[in-house]
Structure 1
Amino acid sequence: MTATKTLTKSVLHIASRLNGLTNLHFQGHYSAASTTVISPAVAKRNDLFSQEQRRQKEAVGRIEKIEVRYLGLPEDVTLAMNASISTPYNCAQHLSEGHCKRSALALIDGNVPWDMHRPLPESCTLQLLNFTVADPHIVNKAFWRTCSFMLGAALENCFTEEAQLQLHSFPGPNIKSGSFIYDIVLRSQTWAPNKVELRAISAEMIKLAAKDLQIERLDVSDELALEMFADSHYKHEQLPSIAQQNHGRVTLYRLGTHIDISRGPMVASSRFLGKCTVTVAHKIANEGENDALYRVQGVALPAGFTLSHVAYNTLEERAKKLNPARLPNEPFEDSQQQIA
């Protein structure tokens, strides 16, 4: 079997579920049609993430109280919370169930975007952001970044081991570009996914959204990050320069069992992803004798937002054009430009 046929067979297993077929093998973390299979490398990465998460919580020590001044509807209020333990989501729980459901992102002290599930280290003002705020730029940027992150997870779920998928990176979000992206390397120099395959990857993203998976953030040392990504050639290669730009620390995010590198912030949960279409995969360059670098692109709407078929089709067509964000094989001055 050629490399291209292997890739097609890998992706088409999800597509087969859309067409009632069952004869294709798929090794996916979230597949309803197969037993959950997690590679030893992914299992190790998750174990290390969870262990460090517990260690950081236990290291908090004596609980100190902080004042969080919530600014917003129905009225401003001051909350007594726990330093380095309480999160914006915990603050939302003190307000109402509606605040918990609607809040995608937080804003600290008026100008610092903050993950909903990231602990607050000290007293601050807090605003809870959703997609209907007066100036949605900040939350839209976090949403676009989250879409790229979820695309990486979906691509990992769509390919079998034979495809030798390697996640490379995703540049910082740019809403004006018309598409969110993830750059990957595959053991094929001729992969050109058809509509059914692209639809299959889109369906995998929607499946992740339906699970309402909390998106977890964790800052780790460069040594731990290198251990976690020891199996990932491109991530391992990027980590030293990323850590150097961030005082020896690396920011990671986890969605289910998928862990990736990103500066963040991201929206609180996968459920904020609504209508989604993976539109195209552009071949960017050959990587050695057998591999090639591809830029996979898509477009999405936040959950609850609707557009007419004509308007959304226009967005889909725009998202097929090669996204002009910096390519992984192009020089850059700031090493963190390679991650969102």
Structure 2
Amino acid sequence: MATNTCRTAPLLLRNAYLRKRWSRSFCAQTKLSNVEIRKKRNAIFDEERKRQLSLIRRIEKIQVEHVGPPEDCSLVMNRGLSTPFNCAMHIQELLMTRSALALVNSQPWDMHRPLEEDCEIQFLHFRDEDPRTLNNAFWRTCSFVLGHVMETAFKDDVTVDLVSFPKPSVSSGSFVHDVNLSLHNWKPTTVELNCLSRIAYKLRLDDLKFERLEVDASVAERLFEDNLFKKSQVPQIAAKSNTGSKVTLYKMGEHIDMSRGPLIASTSQIGRFNVTAIHPVECPEHGQLQRVQGVALPTQVKMHHWAYEFVVKRAARLNDAPLLSSYSQQEQDIREDTADV
């Protein structure tokens, strides 16, 4: 989706200081453009995914017990290949299209993550009575999407380094993605924020899946070698994993980032989406960054436009979520999981 020109005319028409390169010693010293970096990451991701699939030499069957509407049933699926989405396909089309997350043996599970053993499965959608787990996954997904928006919205001469996105907190009023943007002191207008919002809003028509892949830390370091913010987080993230050496990646279209997850099933489940503000924030370790904030609604959730505009205005206030400093993205997610219990 990325091009070598800016997405919209308002983002092109900036003053001279917006076109000035702003660098700090922490940024990766790379000559590659954002477009070239994305292509490089996708090639590494696809290569690793094919390698992992090639390790499955024998298809083993597992028993999956579905609990919930439209009816309880038993399925025989393939270990390491079949996903909750595949299970829903065998049960009911409505279940397949509306389910955003699964519970596998009572644990949150991505719809496109392969099942590993005999299990009990339930499906979650946005009209459930207790949507807390799904709300967190939705907001985490929207932060992930903000990264895609920022990487694809600008011309190639504008450097965008994604830094991290704090844990989702619905009570804060906005989801967040912190970035290092070479447009120093940029104060986007309402028109420019709307242009950014449309990039995310149009993703629902593309129905892009959120693919999960667990990789070795060495693969993650190679994948993020052009972004030293991300690369510096890899050892900490790997150390906190169950094996002490793995990093969880997610891919949406051509956008790849690290997150412990889970994320929702598809961009088609994201309805209204607004980038509400971009605030300059000072990070003790890395200097000035930009905090990109947004608010969104799932496709299944309807809200009167007047009430939604009120939510958008509230989401423009500076979100005081912690900045990346002494702990990594994955550690923030671990703190969130503890808070959810």
Tell me if TM exceeds 0.5. Answer: yes
- Evaluate the alpha carbon distance shift between residue 41 and residue 188 of structure 1 in structure 2; reply closer, same or farther with a 3 A threshold: closer
Give the distance between the partners of 1:101 and 1:285, measured in 2 at CA: 42
1:57 Cα offset (Å): 1.5
The reply to whether residue 149 of structure 1 matches residue 149 of structure 2 is no
Q: Which letter does structure 2 place at the counterpart of 1:141? A: N
Alignment of 1:3-82 (within 5 A): 10=6, 12-13=8-9, 39-82=35-78
SS at match of 2:111: coil
1:304 Cα offset (Å): 3.2
Structure 1, unmatched stretches of 5+, are 1-8, 17-36
SS at match of 2:76: strand
The reply to whether residue 126 of structure 1 matches residue 133 of structure 2 is no
- Evaluate the alpha carbon distance shift between residue 267 and residue 14 of structure 1 in structure 2; reply closer, same or farther with a 3 A threshold: farther
The reply to whether residue 91 of structure 1 matches residue 111 of structure 2 is no
- Residue equivalent to 2:134: 139
Q: Which runs of 4+ in 1 moved over 3 A?
A: 9-16, 286-289, 331-335
Q: Which letter does structure 2 place at the counterpart of 1:264? A: G
- Residue equivalent to 1:267: 264
Give the distance between the partners of 2:63 and 2:72, measured in 1 at CA: 13
- Residue equivalent to 2:203: 208
- Residue equivalent to 1:116: 111
Q: Which letter does structure 1 place at the counterpart of 2:321? A: A
1:226 Cα offset (Å): 0.3
- Residue equivalent to 1:285: 282
SS at match of 2:202: helix
Q: Deviations over 1:47-102 (max 9, x none)?
A: 11111111111212211111100001121101011111110001001111111111
Alignment of 1:120-199 (within 5 A): 120-199=115-194
Q: Which letter does structure 1 place at the counterpart of 2:192? A: E
The reply to whether residue 303 of structure 1 matches residue 302 of structure 2 is no
The reply to whether residue 218 of structure 1 matches residue 213 of structure 2 is yes
Q: How many residues align?
A: 309
Give the distance between the partners of 2:253 and 2:41, measured in 1 at CA: 12
Q: Equivalent of 1:255, from 245, 252, 255?
A: 252
- Residue equivalent to 2:308: 312
**Contact 1:169 1:338 (8 Å CA) reproduced:** no
**Contact 1:328 1:338 (8 Å CA) reproduced:** no
Give the distance between the partners of 2:333 and 2:10, measured in 1 at CA: 30
1:45 Cα offset (Å): 1.0
Give the distance between the partners of 2:327 and 2:215, measured in 1 at CA: 24
Give the distance between the partners of 2:214 and 2:319, measured in 1 at CA: 29
SS at match of 1:46: helix
**Contact 2:63 2:119 (8 Å CA) reproduced:** yes
**Contact 1:153 1:258 (8 Å CA) reproduced:** yes
Q: Which letter does structure 2 place at the counterpart of 1:253? A: Y
Deviates more, 1:209-218 or 1:320-329: 320-329
Structure 2, unmatched stretches of 5+, are 13-32, 337-341
Q: Which letter does structure 1 place at the counterpart of 2:163? A: H
Give the distance between the partners of 1:224 and 1:333, measured in 2 at CA: 18
Give the distance between the partners of 1:333 and 1:45, measured in 2 at CA: 20
Give the distance between the partners of 2:95 and 2:283, measured in 1 at CA: 48
1:161 Cα offset (Å): 2.3
**Contact 1:170 1:338 (8 Å CA) reproduced:** no
Give the distance between the partners of 2:213 and 2:123, measured in 1 at CA: 21
Give the distance between the partners of 2:333 and 2:186, measured in 1 at CA: 23
1:38 Cα offset (Å): 7.1
Q: Deviations over 1:179-203 (max 9, x none)?
A: 0110001123311111011001100
Give the distance between the partners of 2:275 and 2:330, measured in 1 at CA: 27
TM-score, normalising length from structure 2? 0.85
- Residue equivalent to 2:20: none
TM-score, normalising length from structure 1? 0.85
- Residue equivalent to 1:276: 273
Give the distance between the partners of 2:281 and 2:319, measured in 1 at CA: 11
User: Percentage identity across aligned positions?
Assistant: 43
Q: Deviations over 1:284-313 (max 9, x none)?
A: 027999x83011101100013221122112
